[in-house]
Amino acid sequence: MSEIPEPERGGEWEENYTEWCIINELFYEFIATENYLYWENEDIEYILYLIARNNETEDFIEKIAEQQPKSLELLANKSLEFGERDSKWQIAINLDKFPNKEIAKSLLERFLKDGDEYVRRMALMTISKFNHSRLEEFCKEAWNREDKWQEYQRIAVLHSLETANSPELEKYFKLAIEDGRQYLIMNVNKLKGNKNEV
């Protein structure tokens, strides 16, 4: 693991690492041969660390979701316990591939309470793919949350309601127009265009 503190790492630091080929080979071999039921805590810590470092391509989490989808519950619980932001959001957006949809929804509800706004946003957009009775409630909470990322949260609300084909979407279109911020309006126009094309 790197001695560079997490806040000082970024896409360039991760992409410029010279040994990715070796890591990729070992990671894919491990996922292909080691059943998640036998993963030890140290294995899980390394997996979460590598998922976080691989956030530009998301290859590692996609390979896990493809080959060992049942492991997503274990990884989700561990990432919520001690994982980094960049492992959490990647796991959240792949929970729609978890075989048990009720467990997946329960895990996503926990990601919706995460301290990181981006993790919450990705969880909201993923949970909208499920027939969740509380989606509108989650969207209302996200819409009304006051922080510097509010515009992006509101964009996620619009896309989540659109994905779920929610009757609330028109109401939020009007609220977005009242809000008036540039990217929010752009997304209203984009989504309304999609609706007109259908």
Measured distance CA(191)–CA(197) in Å, rounded: 10
| Cβ-based neighbours of 38, under 8 Å, separated by 6 or more | none
Q: What is the reported pLDDT for 2?
A: 53
Going through the chain in order, the beta strands assigned E by DSSP cover none
Q: How far apart are the first and last CA of the chain?
A: 49
Q: Which sign does the torsion angle of CA 42, 45, 48, 52 carry?
A: negative
Measured distance CA(125)–CA(107) in Å, rounded: 14
Q: What is the reported pLDDT for 114?
A: 97
Q: What is the reported pLDDT for 19?
A: 86
Q: What is the reported pLDDT for 5?
A: 61
Q: How would you write the pLDDT of the chain (198 residues) with one tens digit per residue?
A: 555 565 555 555 576 778 899 999 999 999 999 999 999 999 999 999 999 999 999 999 999 999 999 999 999 999 999 999 999 999 999 999 999 999 999 999 999 999 999 999 999 999 999 999 999 999 999 999 999 999 999 999 999 999 999 999 999 999 999 999 999 999 999 999 976 543
Q: What is the reported pLDDT for 198?
A: 33
Question: What is the DSSP code (8-state) at residue 130?
Answer: S
